[in-house]
Amino acid sequence: MLQQLFSPSVLHTLDLIGIFVFAISGALLAVRKNFDVFGMAVLAEVTALGGGLFRDLVIGAVPPAAFTDLGYFVTPLLATVLVFFLHPHVERIQTGVNVFDAAGLGLFCVVGTTKAYDYGLGLTASACLGLATAVGGGVLRDVLANEVPSLLRWDRDLYAVPAIVGAAMTALCIRYDLLNPATSGVAVVTAFALRLLAMRYHWRAPRAWHRRSTVREE
């Protein structure tokens, strides 16, 4: 089904762009945490490849693409080199990086859902793996950096919700035999736009109703 939606060269190029942007976010967090260059490379690789690696292992697509395509492995290293030497400049264009990150989120939630379905999973499981593809690397990044994952924090703009919407739209299109380049593009753009709106207007998920927490808010 993926081959019907995108040509192999286009899909590969989009994958590498998404991987590069995700890797930059991992390397930047490593800089903020005062990690050395090895720590930067580890966070870059984990952020960029973690979600897709988890998906491939679950669906049995082994060896995972991250280990069969040298470009997938090298691209995060290139992002690490860029951040290592130019991180003050990269920090200044953080807004632009966030926009590309949102685009990668939209792309990966759709591609992840479609690939999981191609390997025989049901629609709900496929959508869940689409979500995991999009946000899994960021969760692993935060855990390794000893932080509460961003998508679990109430004081962060919505991140998982746009990916859930994109993955759910993809699953519904598959269910009603409507998935094609146009509808998959709509799902990507919808997730992308929701993430941009969340960043622009600081949309956040609600917390427990009438909560009475003694935990100090950071």
% of the chain residues with pLDDT over 90: 70
pLDDT tens-digit series, residues 138-175: 999 999 999 999 888 888 999 999 999 999 999 999 99
Residue type, 142: D
The model's confidence at residue 38, banded by pLDDT at 50, 70 and 90, is very high
Question: Is 213 within the bounds of a domain?
Answer: no
Residue 212 lies in a domain: no
- 6-34 residue pLDDT tens: 677 878 888 898 899 899 989 989 998 99
Q: How many Cα atoms within 13 Å fall on the side-chain side of residue 23?
A: 26
CA distance 115 to 92: 35
Q: What is the pLDDT of residue 215?
A: 59
* Angstrom distance (rounded) from CA 10 to CA 66: 17
Which pLDDT tens digit goes with each residue over 165-217?
999 999 999 999 999 989 999 999 999 999 999 999 999 988 888 777 655 55
pTM, full prediction: 0.90
Say whether pLDDT at 2 is over 70. no
Mean pLDDT within 47-57: 96
**Quick check: is 117 in a domain?**
yes
In terms of residue numbers, what domain contains 154? 2-201
Burial 78-108 (b: 16+ CB within 10 A, else e): bbbebbbeebeebeeeeeebbbbbbbbbbbb
Kindly state whether residue 115 falls inside one of the protein's structural domains. Answer: yes
pLDDT for 214 equals 58
Separation of alpha carbons 216 and 218, rounded Å: 6
Structural domain count of the chain: 1
- Do the domain assignments include residue 208? no
Whether residue 123 is predicted with pLDDT greater than 60 in this model: the reply is yes
214 domain-assigned: no
Q: Is residue 217 part of a domain?
A: no
Rounded CA-CA distance 52/15 in Å is: 10
Average pLDDT, the chain: 90
Assess if residue 119 is contained within a domain: yes
Give 97's pLDDT tier (boundaries 50, 70, 90): confident
* Helices of type H across 65-122: 65-68, 70-92, 94-118
Burial 139-174 (b: 16+ CB within 10 A, else e): bbbbebbeeebbbeeeebbbbbbbbbbbbbbbbebb
Q: What is the pLDDT of residue 213?
A: 61
Whether the per-residue pLDDT at 3 is higher than 70: the answer is no
